[in-house]
Amino acid sequence: MAMQSLTKTFTAGLWDSNPVLRLLLGMCPTLAVTAAMKPALTMGLSVVFVLICSNIVVSLMRNLLKPHLRILMFTLTIATFVTIADLYLKAFMPDMSAALGPYIPLIIVNCIIIGRAEACASKSGLLVSIIDAVGMGIGFTLALCLLAAIRELLATGKLFEMPIMPSWFTPWAAMGMPVGAFVTLGLILAGVNVVTKKT
């Protein structure tokens, strides 16, 4: 039963409560960094790291939190781990850090992270909080990668900067621009709605 509950918590973030496709959270990085696969994957993994760390800390101090100060505590915790992630990228992946620019520090105000701290970590034990963070983080990463794969393929004919499309393919420059992000995300969400209604 406990295993089933943990499995359900994990899989909720992948589909039923996918933060991008079902909850429509984290739209800013979703639209901004999905012009190519590499930045999308880097952003997704950064969010996974911050989610796991912040959920662990919030879960450990959940019994000590004062209700009127909890948001402040959440923000302090999240900001710390986002700063660590930002420093890590600057130190070990400087090209990706430059490509992502201000969107890594903006993870601090990503609603997914503070939302999971409030909805799960502040009310659950350590294991459940970690599983929830992993599920939500992977769900977010998969959604970003799906969007990035479509956009990069159509905008450049490449995936992970490796040529995929045949030589006769004419790249759609618009897919690399904001309009391409909005249209692609809209179509993906429409598809998700269709699939959800049918099931």
Partner 1 sequence: MSTKIKYFFEQSWLLMVSSVVFGLLLAVTDAAWKPRIEQNVVNRFTSLAGGLLTEAERFEPIAQTISIDIKGKAVPVEVKRGLNAAGQTVGWAFVCEGSGFADKIRLVVATDAAFTKMAGFGVLFSNETPGFGDKINITPANGGFYQPQFIGAPVGTLTLTKTGDPAVIDDHIVAISGATVTSQAVVDTLNAWLVPIREKMAAEGLLK
Nearest-approach distance from CB 125 to partner 1, in angstroms: 19
Nearest-approach distance from CB 86 to partner 1, in angstroms: 10
Q: Residue 17, interface with partner 1 (CB under 8 A)?
A: no
Intra-chain end-to-end CA distance of the chain, in Å:
25
Nearest-approach distance from CB 94 to partner 1, in angstroms: 4
Kindly tell me which residue out of 101, 125, 186, 191 binds partner 1, with binding defined by CB under 8 A.
101
The rounded distance, in Å, linking the Cα atoms of 196 and 199 is: 5
Closest Cα partner for 77 from 61, 90, 101? 61
Q: Residue 162, interface with partner 1 (CB under 8 A)?
A: no
Is residue 10 within 8 A of residue 120, CB to CB? The reply is: no
In 108-163, beta strands by DSSP E: 158-159, 162-163
β-bridge partners, 163: 158
Nearest-approach distance from CB 190 to partner 1, in angstroms: 25
Q: Residue 11, interface with partner 1 (CB under 8 A)?
A: no
CA 72 to centroid of chain Cα atoms: 22
Nearest-approach distance from CB 108 to partner 1, in angstroms: 13
Total interface residues for partner 1 by CB under 8 A:
25
Kindly tell me which residue out of 41, 83, 149, 150 binds partner 1, with binding defined by CB under 8 A.
83
Helix boundaries (H) for 15-125: 27-32, 37-60, 70-92, 94-100, 111-116
Phi, psi for 175 (deg, rounded to 5): -70, -20
Q: Residue 98, interface with partner 1 (CB under 8 A)?
A: yes
Complex with partner 1: residue 163 or 191, whichever CB lies closer = 163
> Which residues are near partner 1 by CB under 8 A?
35, 61, 64-66, 69, 72-73, 76-77, 80, 83-84, 87-88, 90-92, 94, 98, 101, 155, 173, 176-177
